Structure 1
């Protein structure tokens, strides 16, 4: 069977046509030709935003050829080998015509096809000539059909040779109008809206959703060009994205779809976020790559060791990020952050090098793709900022949603939106009685909180208080969950972690969100926010006081733990590093649970967390814990397996725990009684 119309994964304006296999029967080849011709003829009912004359002409020709092929089938005329050979060439040409017509009618690619209209017109000419050639070599005299049909086919072949398929003057004019607007953006001039509206009307882009589809298509093209390593068209594609984003924000006033919950794309995005590390937020400020060995300098800033060492070796004695003079050149390992990075790599099954590539993919959006796109973004940012202040309630809601979309994955967009002052206006919208407005406002703040200046502005605008109100009493569950995610991003700096931790309501509110019958998505956001706050040691006791340990232990003991296991274990491992945390773990009867989980969890990071918890409890509590572990005959084999199958950190902790258990079994002396810890130097733990 010949499946010529399968376009799955095909990139636009590519024609992966294939010759029918040599062994195909003439009857099957004829049937496939008829089916393909019928498919092409069905395009006459489609809307062609561009290439209207060219597409109409080629569809007309295929309609006549279809009659010819159906005549052969209906008369039962045998197809000879010479005819079958010509049919094979004709089949190849029809596949390409089908691909081209599919592209011309593709939803979301209208503007791009307009800008490629000259190239597309050339493709129509080439394929029409190929069609003429296939018909010209067809031995009509050997086909037993009526002369009238033969004459019509001959006429089509001659017309195909002579017809002039050229660039449509209307397409040419619309292309010039778009280029004129791009030129205005490039020069920092805001375009005339009437001109822009005429072009959109010509292409049939009639509403917000149509415009958004066009943007998504172009963004996919940009990503494809980067993946292929050929970035020559990126500036032009970026300019078109800026052009359409401006149109979507300024021209289309109404969101023509009903949003009742968080967008699926944002759900995916947030799910990535709660894996404790996001390459965009935890990259080295110098190399912009995911840090593999993070160290902290005297100013409190963290860098990748290799990058900061190179900076210091060059004779620099200032902090690259803040410009402050370094009190000393000591580099303190940031072990907590290193754990997060290793967990991220393990959970996503990528190496640190691959994570670096992912980070670069994101950080390329720090700068605009072109001058035109930069100016378009600046113009629409000012438009949004004005709407947030002076617009109607509906306009403010749309403006907040536009920020969600624009800032979703583009750092430059976030910077522009923060710079024009959208953050205070979004904070003011948090007390809205309209659930859609509150959801859009808190989600927009989430996107802007991913930018350093966005975090700073939120805190300087006293945004923590209204965000806390949404976290505790948001109109919808989605708003409350998103508020927890905002707190996670705000806690990415030491100063913010201190301020947030000093608020007596934040941590209890996060724990309360975990306790409630909410979604795993909401629980994850709250757990991650707590983990971010734990990066400041002063917050540990506050987290313990909020009843966090028994809450997380309860989750691990329940059936819902599958999606939250790594998150819960990471928080418990961090808390168990202190005596108070280890005691809280013991009081919550976590020891048998963690011991059992070590032998059942599958992720390497989860195993590492389990071993870390057990080791911390041994060191801080002593004989009571070590004695229980020593009696479990299945523990040692699992610990030995981690020496080869676990992460490097898991192997170190497993080795230390093995040594503790061996010493306990060998001595069983009274030095364990009343001792809180085996001397660290004798265990060589670190």
Structure 2
């Protein structure tokens, strides 16, 4: 009896989950193309219900006769149920497959065919179409170890391409006709995100499969499982004894981590260790995934470029936004769009007074400039001057930050570093971004790249960069860690020359650097502090070394770096200790400085 009822409960749970999947608003296309499989699944579950009811000992239950009759009726109906796929569903699936087959041979579908499919699915807006794409993309992290899985992966990539094509060509507006820019809350969330919050408290690495335990704290699944397997039954962070060791997947945090990794060019490995198998997600970043997807992207690229060149202002804005989305994570999409000559019309949109069009075009150019072949095209089409113009007079701060990002990628070419430094307003505008509001990282990394050209060194010094950075670091408690680290890296680069070192000392930077070294636990930040202090000692030692020797707490920080720092930081710390030790041993006994005891590190 108990076994039979337990089995029924388990089957009903499966039915409930299957019904949930079938009624999802963002899985309409996926359920349609999987209708045959879904119907078979329903048939199996209903047959299982019938089998359980057939062996259920109703006589042992104290139930009314009417209930027994109702159970028998359900059993008979379950045996009769067919769950055949409807003719309209089959017709719609054939239409989708025919469109995909046309993509494979390079034929663009008729708009009426696309609209017919979307209407059948009940997809009426851009947002609904985009949600379908997100659902399909969420299914792309599975390994393709077998021929069947490879076929499924290729079909899935074709479906994604089909929906992207519909999103770009069928819908005239994004959402309800609102301004077409990335949603502000997503932008702000990424801007103020602390990367340390994405790290597992156990491994200190960025989590790939975050799970939450009963205390509410989140860990990477592999790390917390090893903790439990070692016999621990406490929360690693609080020490609290755990009643349950169940792990709840933190899907929201995982999406944030994926987005953060995409924005910062960090590879995001799928959970489960080193994945040497072919995965859909890796294909989507470096290739289209199927012949149909490749051809669909090529057709779509030409369509979007045509809209940029000859479309109405609202169509140009929409096209720029779609290009921005397409180039955000896919290298293949970037290559297709560059081959379709998308860069010149995007540059032309930068001069428009429409803030949304300018921002979308600048963001798209930022994504495209990551390709080595794109950099030359941008420069040859006057992109440097237009980008600096946006940097100076951008319609909003987002456009200006994107412009700084474009200059960062262009500055990776030595010839362009020199050109950018000589464009009027480029250096002062980058410094202005450092001083104004959040989102300073793009400007900082761009300045660091430009400093690789020697002539730009004195230009930044004369523009007052040192004082700007020292003032920024004075309020380091209010800054993100990466902003502090990049600022220190720039100062360390400037300090490699005598005039830069003197400017840092004159601006009052030395006590600020020492305070940061004592306050931050980040190995990267500490390493930049040590590099900066060593450069100051080498180039302006007469003013710097006596101050450092008098600072009694500095030595403890340097010795800790020797113990736990990287090879590079340990070497720098050892050299700095040697300089301070040599000064301490040579100075006169009556110099007024307190005698320090130094530990020999060689």
Matches within 5 A, 1:242-321: 242-257=161-176, 258-259=178-179, 262-263=182-183
Q: Deviations over 1:79-109 (max 9, x none)?
A: xxx2x43321111011000111111112222
Alpha-carbon contact 2:427-2:460 (below 8 Å) kept: yes
CA distance in structure 1 between the aligned counterparts of 2:7 and 2:165, rounded to whole angstroms? 46
Pairwise CA distance, 1:382? 0.8
CA distance in structure 2 between the aligned counterparts of 1:662 and 1:356, rounded to whole angstroms? 50
**Match for residue 202 of structure 1?**
120
CA distance in structure 2 between the aligned counterparts of 1:435 and 1:171, rounded to whole angstroms? 44
Q: Helix, strand or coil for the counterpart of 1:190?
A: coil
**Match for residue 653 of structure 1?**
572
Q: 1:361 to 1:269 in 2, by over 3 A?
A: farther
1:601 aligns with 2:482: no
Which of 170, 174, 198 matches 2:88? 170
**Match for residue 550 of structure 1?**
467
Alpha-carbon contact 2:444-2:487 (below 8 Å) kept: yes
CA distance in structure 2 between the aligned counterparts of 1:377 and 1:345, rounded to whole angstroms? 23
Q: Deviations over 1:263-297 (max 9, x none)?
A: 3556677789999xxxxxxxxxxxxxxxxxxxxxx
Which of 32, 37, 44 matches 1:126? 44
Pairwise CA distance, 1:641? 0.9
Alpha-carbon contact 1:124-1:165 (below 8 Å) kept: yes
Matches within 5 A, 1:234-633: 234-257=153-176, 258-259=178-179, 262-263=182-183, 365-516=285-436, 518-519=437-438, 521=439, 523-558=440-475, 559-563=477-481, 564-633=483-552
CA distance in structure 2 between the aligned counterparts of 1:485 and 1:463, rounded to whole angstroms? 13
Moved more, 542-551 or 94-103: 542-551
Q: 1:363 to 1:589 in 2, by over 3 A?
A: farther
Alpha-carbon contact 2:411-2:450 (below 8 Å) kept: yes
**Match for residue 104 of structure 1?**
22
TM-score (norm 2): 0.80
CA distance in structure 2 between the aligned counterparts of 1:533 and 1:603, rounded to whole angstroms? 26
Structure 2: segments with no counterpart, 5+ residues: 197-263, 590-599
Alpha-carbon contact 2:47-2:79 (below 8 Å) kept: yes
Q: Helix, strand or coil for the counterpart of 1:223?
A: coil
CA distance in structure 1 between the aligned counterparts of 2:278 and 2:443, rounded to whole angstroms? 26
CA distance in structure 2 between the aligned counterparts of 1:113 and 1:270, rounded to whole angstroms? 36
Alpha-carbon contact 2:388-2:403 (below 8 Å) kept: yes
Larger Rg: 1
CA distance in structure 1 between the aligned counterparts of 2:584 and 2:298, rounded to whole angstroms? 69
1:153 aligns with 2:153: no
CA distance in structure 2 between the aligned counterparts of 1:557 and 1:251, rounded to whole angstroms? 53
Pairwise CA distance, 1:554? 0.5
Pairwise CA distance, 1:562? 3.6
Moved more, 354-363 or 242-251: 354-363
Q: How many residues align?
A: 517
Q: 1:451 to 1:359 in 2, by over 3 A?
A: farther
**Match for residue 97 of structure 2?**
179
Q: Helix, strand or coil for the counterpart of 1:233?
A: helix
TM-score (norm 1): 0.70
CA distance in structure 2 between the aligned counterparts of 1:371 and 1:259, rounded to whole angstroms? 34
CA distance in structure 2 between the aligned counterparts of 1:273 and 1:226, rounded to whole angstroms? 34
Q: Deviations over 1:386-432 (max 9, x none)?
A: 11111111101100100111111001111111221221111111122
1:85 aligns with 2:3: yes
Q: 1:421 to 1:483 in 2, by over 3 A?
A: same
Q: 1:269 to 1:617 in 2, by over 3 A?
A: same
Q: 1:266 to 1:408 in 2, by over 3 A?
A: farther
Alpha-carbon contact 1:261-1:478 (below 8 Å) kept: no
Pairwise CA distance, 1:262? 3.9
